[in-house]
Amino acid sequence: MLQILFIGLNDDQVPYLNALKKLGYYIIGIDKNRFAPGVGLVDLYINHGYDEYLEIEHVISCNSDLKPNAVFTASAQFSHVLASRLAKLYDLPYPSERLVETILDKTKFYNFFSEHGLPIPNTSYVASQNELDQFLENSPEEQRYYIKSDYSKNPNYVYSGTAKSLLETQINWDKDTYLRSCYAVQPEIVGPSLRINIMGAESEVYDFNSGLELLLLDQNVSKIVTQLRTFCETVGLAGWVVKFDVIDTQNSFATLDIGIDPPSRMRRKFICKGQDFEKYYLEKYLDAFE
């Protein structure tokens, strides 16, 4: 029987658990909440959080019958760090821990994008209110900016407005999961905001604000898709479902964000069509382990 390490057992993960059970997998579930709704759906439950790698490794290593064929998480993006480490433990294909940590951290991934040929907005980093105030005071009052914490995931610690209005905006500086060291400050870029999902040779493009899928792509958007796919192939994300947020500037683009958690717009599309998103996503995901 195929075995899978499954990280996160809350409500959002239950459909994936049910899909895996239909596929006949032996599920090794990991979650610190022993009352999580998915606990009753797994074959073996490990009561630890995704930041407790050593404890999880110890439990797994003590059971010689555990020989997982894959690692899966549809939980918070931070759980991919654990998934990567567990995959390495069993010599399973997975984005490296270093790559996952780069994807999560804006202080790393903007430089990473540039190094691999993806255009990015002009980006400055500020580590205190004083640094931010100084930056904004030296900017034209009506210049619009986005301010995003280093580990932000919208809407956590994402602010926007003119330099003048942002000087009067209360910015969070308490360190936590979404703010570890600093904020990235970027000028607003004019152009359509797009969400682009790359799934190997397949791709989807959505208008970011309306969530509508764009079926007829102009020449520039087609080029953007090609560049993003090449990036995925180059850095070790070929075969994975990867989502990008970009601004289409008509003759180029700006890369704003990257994610490897399940694409919400794709899921909504499947639900509207009465199709099984979780089954489709799992099949795509598990293809990477073959």
Show the tokens assigned to 135: 């930056």
Span 143-188, pLDDT tens digits: 999 999 999 876 789 999 999 999 999 999 999 989 999 999 999 9
pLDDT value of position 1:
86
Rounded mean pLDDT of the chain? 95
Each domain of the chain, given as residue ranges in start order, spans 3-94, 101-119+191-259, 124-187
pLDDT band (50, 70, 90) for residue 141: very high
pTM over 0.85: yes
List C-alpha distances in Å: 90 to 128, 203, 211, 259, 287: 42, 30, 38, 24, 17
pLDDT value of position 271:
94
For residues 207 and 259, the answer to whether their CB atoms sit within 8 Å is: no
If residue 132 lies in a helix (H) or strand (E), which one and from where to where?
helix 129-137
Span 219-239, pLDDT tens digits: 999 999 999 999 999 999 998
List C-alpha distances in Å: 170 to 91, 147, 154: 47, 12, 17
Task: Give yes or no for residue 196 having a pLDDT over 90.
Answer: yes
pLDDT value of position 288:
83
Task: Give yes or no for residue 69 having a pLDDT over 90.
Answer: yes
Cα–Cα distance for residue pair 66/139, rounded to 1 Å: 58
Cα–Cα distance for residue pair 45/43, rounded to 1 Å: 7
The superfamily (CATH) of domain 101-119+191-259 is: ATP-grasp fold, B domain (3.30.470.20)
Task: Give yes or no for residue 289 having a pLDDT over 90.
Answer: no
pLDDT value of position 220:
97
Cα–Cα distance for residue pair 67/5, rounded to 1 Å: 10
CATH code for residues 3-94: 3.40.50.20
